[in-house]
Structure 1
C-alpha cells in the first residue's frame, strides 16, 4: 500500500510551522521569570494559566521531542506543571490552578498520557512513576453510581464524562503494556465497557456525559471524546489480538469523519482535534491506510491558510490562547512525524 496521500504540505513545511508556533508560545505566552505560562494573550482571568492548556502543551512538546530526540522541550512544561501539584487526601494529583483549587480527573489523565508516551520513548523512570501516582488518584474517582465510571471533577461529583473515562482507559492500558500488571488491564476493560454501555451512540461517536442526579445523557459530541475511544480500541486490539476491537476502531474512524467533518472543515477546537488525530494515528500504525487521515491533513492546511493572523497566531477567537496554540502545534508535529504527503 502506498503510504502517501495527495496533499501539498511537506514535512519541512510542518517543521517550519512548528518552529513559528513554538516561538510564539515562548515569546508571548510564557513568564520566563516564574517558569509559568499564561492562559492567553491580553487580559487574563488569573495571572497564570489553568492546568488544562499545559496538558495540551506537554503532549505537543512530547511530539516535538520525538522529532528532535536530543532536545528537552518537555522540561520547562514539566517544571510548570509541578507548580500545580497537591498532596491532598485521598492521594496526590494536580490541581486546576497553582493556588488551592479543584482537581479534575481528565486534566491528570492527559498529563499521564503524555508522560507514558515520553516514558516509552525515553525510558526515564520519573515519567512512569508519576503516571502510576496519577493512576492511583484516578481510582478514587470511580464508584458504582450509574453502574460505574469515573467522575469529571473531584469536589463536584455531578457527572461522569467521556472526557474522564476515555483517557482513563488509555492510561490504564499503557500502564499494562509497560508493566504487564493485570490490574491495569482490568481497569481499562472495566471503564471501556462502562463507557460503551452508557456514552456510545449507535452512530459510533461518543456523547459528553451522564448526570449522576437523574441519569440523563448530555448528548453533545466533541472530537476528543471520540478520539480517545478510537485509540482505546486500537490499544485493546494490540494487547489482546481480538479483531473485534480493530473492527470497532475502523467503525468509529469512519463514523467520526462523517459526523465531524462538515463543509470541508472540522470543528474549531484545535486541541480537541489533536486528540482525535491521536486515535487516527494509532489506527494508521495498524492498518497503514493513509487515506483515513486525509481529512485531518486537509483541515490542518485550511487552518494555517485561513485562520492565521499577521503574527502567525492560530484561531478564530479574538484572544489567542495557549490551549489552541498548543493544540495545533501537536497536530503539525504529529503530521510531520507521520510524513504522509507526497513531496
Structure 2
C-alpha cells in the first residue's frame, strides 16, 4: 500500500464517543439506538436489492476504470498515475468477483478477476508472492498486508469452488507472510519485505497491527482447512502480540504500529485493525473454545462502534474517510453477530449509511464519495473506494440472504 494512502488523517473523536464513555445507562441507550432522519429529508425507497446495487457498482467500475485486463488506479486520472492500479485496490475487485459469484452472478466475473491477479504474481525462487504492481512494470515491493488480503480472497475462492489451486496458492503466499514475523519488539510482523529485518530507523521500520492481525486471521482460516498445527501456533502467538503490544486498554481498540528504532507507538486507530482483531478472536474462540478470545472480540466491537461513529445532521455515520477500512469492520460485525445481539445495531447503522450514500453521496458518473454522509467528495476517484461498495452491498445481501439465483 503506498505511503499517501497510509498517511490519511483519521476523523476527529466524535460527540458519540464522548457520550459513550459515560457510565450513565440512559446515555448508553442513546448510543445503541439506531440513527434517525433528524433534519434530513427521507430517503426514497429504492427498487434495487443490495445484491443489485453491488452489481451496478461493479458495472460502473467496468465502464470507468477498466484498463485492458486490469484497472486504472483512479478515474479521472490523477497526477503520477501509472498505467494500472496497485495490488491493493485490485484486491477490492477480487472481493467483488467472489461476492458476486456467491450471490449467483455469472462465474465469468469471478474468473476474470482472478485471472487478472496473475499479473501481480512474482514467481521468484524464494518465497514467491504478489508484488505491489504488475510484474510487467518491473520488480516492486512485497507487502505483508497486501499479500494477506490476497490470501483472504484465495481462501474464499477455494470455499466457493473447491478448486485446489486456490488453497495451494494461499498456502504458498502465507509462507511469505509468516516470514515477516520475528522476535524483535517481542514479535509481530513488519509492514513490507524491503524494509524489515535489517532496519534500525525510519518511519517505515515498524511492526504493525494490520500485518499482524491479518496474519493471525488467515492462519486461523488455514488451520480450519488443513489442521496443520503450525498455523494455529503462529496465529495464537501473533494475535497475542498485537493484543499485548498495541491494544489501548481504555477502549480495546488497536494502535497502528510500533517503531523498531524509537520504540514509539503510533497511536492512530483504524477501523480495519479493529475488524481484523475481532475476526481473528472469533476464529480462535471457535477453534480453541477459550472464552477470552470471544470476550476480546465483543469488547473491541463495543469500542469500535463508540469510537468510529459520530452524529452528522441528526444521524449516526461511521467515520467519513477510508470506506474500505470501514467495510472490513462491517465484515467483522457480521461475523460477530451470531455471538452478540448488540452487533445487529452496529450493522443496521452501516446499512443506513449505505442507503444514504446511494441516494446522496454519488456523482453523475455513479461514483461514491469517500464521505458517505455526502458532505465531502474526498478521494472519490480512487478505485478502492468504489470497490468497497461492492463488498459492502454484497455482504449485506448475503447477511439478509438475498440471492440472485441458484448456481
Tell me the alpha carbon deviations over residues 28-72 of structure 1, each in whole angstroms, 9 at most, x when there is no partner.
Answer: 1112xx311110112241011000101222123212211116524
Tell me the alpha carbon deviations over residues 259-303 of structure 1, each in whole angstroms, 9 at most, x when there is no partner.
Answer: 001122112211101111111111114446523312221222232
Tell me the CA shift for residue 255 of structure 1.
0.8
Question: Could you say which residue in structure 2 is the equivalent of 1:127?
Answer: 166
2:312 pairs with 1:278: no
Tell me how many residue pairs correspond in the alignment: 335
Question: Could you say which residue in structure 1 is the equivalent of 2:258?
Answer: 210
Question: Could you say which residue in structure 2 is the equivalent of 1:38?
Answer: 72
Question: Could you say which residue in structure 1 is the equivalent of 2:388?
Answer: 327
How many Å separate the matches in 1 of 2:226 and 2:336? 23
Q: Indicate if the aligned counterparts of 2:35 and 2:349 stay in contact, CA closer than 8 A.
A: no
Tell me the CA shift for residue 161 of structure 1.
1.1
Change (3 A) 1:306 1:11: closer
TM-score scaled by structure 2?
0.78
| Partner SS state of residue 175, structure 1 | helix
2:268 pairs with 1:232: no
Note the 1:68-217 alignment, pairs <5 A.
68=104, 71-88=107-124, 90-98=126-134, 99=137, 100-157=139-196, 158-202=205-249, 203-217=251-265
Question: Unaligned stretches of 5+ in structure 1?
Answer: none
Question: Unaligned stretches of 5+ in structure 2?
Answer: 1-33, 37-42, 197-204, 370-376, 403-407
How many Å separate the matches in 2 of 1:237 and 1:294? 25
Question: Could you say which residue in structure 1 is the equivalent of 2:200?
Answer: none
Tell me the alpha carbon deviations over residues 6-45 of structure 1, each in whole angstroms, 9 at most, x when there is no partner.
Answer: 99878953123212211111111112xx311110112241
> Which protein is bigger by CA-based radius of gyration?
2
User: Would you identify which runs of 4 or more consecutive aligned residues in structure 1 move more than 3 Å?
Assistant: 5-12, 285-289
How many Å separate the matches in 1 of 2:171 and 2:153? 13
Greater relative CO (CA pairs within 8 A, separation 6+): 1
TM-score scaled by structure 1?
0.92
**RMSD of the alignment, in Å?**
2.1
Q: Indicate if the aligned counterparts of 2:178 and 2:215 stay in contact, CA closer than 8 A.
A: no
Q: Indicate if the aligned counterparts of 1:10 and 1:339 stay in contact, CA closer than 8 A.
A: no
